[in-house]
Chains A and B, each alone.
Chain A
């Protein structure tokens, strides 16, 4: 076992921070976009007209059964074909992850909404609330509380999955470490360091999930 040289990690920190910046940006964009699109998908599946509900279900099921790496490759290939001009790896990654996460968030949101007993809506309607008011003031607040831990867990998975932009060469934290490791001829230290960074962030977030679960009284997932 050769001696480790952690100096190279120290020297590459600014460069690695740039990569981490993109990883965080990608996670944030996919989270925000995925939640919005996911909500639309969930509503389409629950109360949309039949063709729309079927289309939403097909979209969700296809996205969830294809390996993410293949989805990333597909988007990188197809988007330029549709728009007629090349799209950078970073932009392609942002679009792909938003579209991909929408399928997963959509299913979580759908389950959350469907976990609210029908009587809640009936009671709200009997009290004179409109359908929209019942959804906004009665169903969604309870649904969000039920969903929060699962949504956060999915976001941890998303944060880890962003590393797969490696397949199209977008420069995230992992790619930055790979490049720095090659430049200094010190891949081992770089990979260990990057693993530690991912581990620390994900462990902190998953401890937060556990606290949320305890606070909301929902048991660990099956």
Chain B
């Protein structure tokens, strides 16, 4: 069989020095399954290239699968050969835009069609595929050959260049947030209700705005309502609106937020804090997609997309009976979770840059840098108030900073190392004790500012270094093993 004169039509150009050898390899492997010893050298060539190559017979069963194909898909040749190509390759193109099928039906090659494959771990791998038909000497189709290239690295580089680490006002490099970023375009293009969960200050509203601004509703209103901040009656009139005479003081008609949002987005923050009665009303809105203003019998269709957010675990509230299960299922269609800042400290440098830029511009000052030594302290802090707390810190530090960069002296006491915190806590109520505490804090701050170089600290404090030594000893100020002299 190997002696038959075959012609390969239109095999695409590959980044490969000797196309003839590659073609020959594919013929041989297609026909012999790579069993003949004479094919060893040509097989070696196929094995050495970085593009994945596989061939199929006319029944779409895999007949050969090179080493790069194994590497990219994570599937061994032994498992792949003989299986349906769509079940091995698992690409986004298989059903509707199979390049190989197109080549086999038209006889023409397909070049560089982009899509993705899903590997065994559920990771989408971007690929570019090219295909060609394999025919015998009589022009009869024997099968097809497909080459594919892993574009992950290229896509990563493109994403970095295009600012993938920033979506709207959200900034993150952490893998947990990258998962959320990946979902934003898909979520934005769908009208589905979204539930955003995350601790206070993580940026739930920022994420909701990013979803709004990435979708087709971006030119429509975005209306945010904090459901936890308003009593029931007020929240109801805010959301649903009212008609004149609906209650005492309703002297005119008022449009509620649901309708004011038009075809835009309404963001219901702190959804877990609404009362049971209000939960029933919201359920009706979500189910029927209609709104009835207070004091009216008229039902008005709701066009706005609803995004809900909470800092509480809704599933456990459902279990404890504090939140309606049917409403939970209505709003939990797509759930996005924003991890707290303490779980993604790698985001702090980038957040610092963005926030310094933002607030120094807002305050008309030039404080856009920070001392490198504060970064470990900031990254080691737990940030219970999350990004909001970090933003408050930056705003405060810019106000208090005397230079062009934020230094350790601008850090609030809770961020400073533990030993410093213990120094700051006064344990005495006497005048003498308070004076010692203050002196201790001042000396420690001067030492830290000068990397524990005692001569420089004494200079900053305006005392002689011998006095400083004496006070350090008398006040029991802890010193690091290495200091500014070493």
Co-complex (A, B): no
Which residues on A are within 8 Å of B, measured CB to CB? none
